[in-house]
Amino acid sequence: MSKMTYAFPQSLSETRTHYCAGCGHGIVHKLIAQVLDELNIREKTLLVAPVGCSVLAYKYLNVDGLEAAHGRAPAVATGLKRVQKDKIVLSYQGDGDLLAIGAGETIHAANRGEDITVIFLNNAIYGMTGGQMAPTTMEGQKTLTSPQGRDIADVGSAMRACELIDTLEAPYYIERCSVHDVKNVNRTKNAIKRAIKYQVEGRGYSFVEILSMCPTNWGLDPVKSAKWIEEDMVPYYPLKKFRDKGEEA
């Protein structure tokens, strides 16, 4: 008898995404949908969509939610969670949103230990606006606004979000993962599941950073983009669990 061992998640809309071929957003959306299915919490999940390529995330995940102004997703998520404590609130953000215009909101929501889950997709570039330098752009990486490569003497070096948030007292769970190969996609799913489960249990702020491909703006094909993450990004952005108070307890 045959059975489906990898089926289309119920929490994911059948709408085709607007993402470019090989973009990591599609993989991460799918993982979130799988986790919502497995925890059976789709009906009580609220997604705060950011500004950036994933601005239309609410179209692809079959959950309720709000669209936040650029960078304000953690602040909007804070409000949602404080008035609807029984809901599961996810803030889905890219690097420009989370670390540039929204750096203040990000740090303070984490510092307050808001009972929300932030899913941070780091592709080292501004995708939606056409490939400008982001706070996470690697040293020497060429973008539209750093045509000679990022010059750290001029604009500083790439910011590491997990390490920043790990300096704060309140966050409950912090992990960095990647979606460049099968093993890491599965690890990412486990991290998302753990983060959301902690929120279901009311433990507090959880943060999952995911390194992801942006083939179009990197000027590489999808397979080479995955390789670039492995060879260039991972040494600078180590993949590890920074904090898990659930495990320490």
Partner 1 sequence: MAAKGEPLINSERCKGCGLCIANCPKNILEMSKEFNSDGVTFPTLNDEETCTACTFCATMCPENAIQIRRF
Give the SS3 label for residue 148. Answer: coil
Q: Measured from the CB atom, is 17 or 143 closer to partner 1? A: 17
Work out which of 53, 124, 162, 226 binds partner 1, going by CB under 8 A: 226
Min separation Cβ 9 and partner 1, Å: 8
Taking the C-alpha atoms of residue 171 and residue 240, their distance in angstroms, rounded to an integer, is 16
Work out which of 84, 140, 157, 181 binds partner 1, going by CB under 8 A: 181
Taking the C-alpha atoms of residue 148 and residue 119, their distance in angstroms, rounded to an integer, is 31
Work out which of 47, 109, 174, 185 binds partner 1, going by CB under 8 A: 185
Q: Map the footprint of partner 1 across residues 30-49, applying CB under 8 A.
A: 30
Q: Counting beta carbons within 10 angstroms of the beta carbon of residue 234, is it exposed (0 to 12), middle (13 to 18) or buried (19 or more)?
A: middle
Q: Measured from the CB atom, is 43 or 221 closer to partner 1? A: 221
223 binds partner 1 (CB under 8 A): yes
Tell me which residue of 36, 31, 30 sits closest to 13, measured CA to CA: 30
Q: 231 near 38, Cβ under 8 Å?
A: no
Q: How many residues line the site for partner 1 (CB under 8 A)? A: 30
Q: Map the footprint of partner 1 across residues 3-22, applying CB under 8 A.
A: 3-9, 12, 16-17, 19-22
Taking the C-alpha atoms of residue 239 and residue 170, their distance in angstroms, rounded to an integer, is 21
Min separation Cβ 80 and partner 1, Å: 27
Min separation Cβ 129 and partner 1, Å: 21
Residues 6+ apart with CB under 8 A from 51: 68, 69, 70, 71, 97, 128
Taking the C-alpha atoms of residue 214 and residue 126, their distance in angstroms, rounded to an integer, is 9
Work out which of 164, 222, 241, 242 binds partner 1, going by CB under 8 A: 222
Min separation Cβ 23 and partner 1, Å: 6
Binding site for partner 1 (CB under 8 A): 2-9, 12, 16-17, 19-27, 30, 181-182, 185-186, 215, 221-223, 226
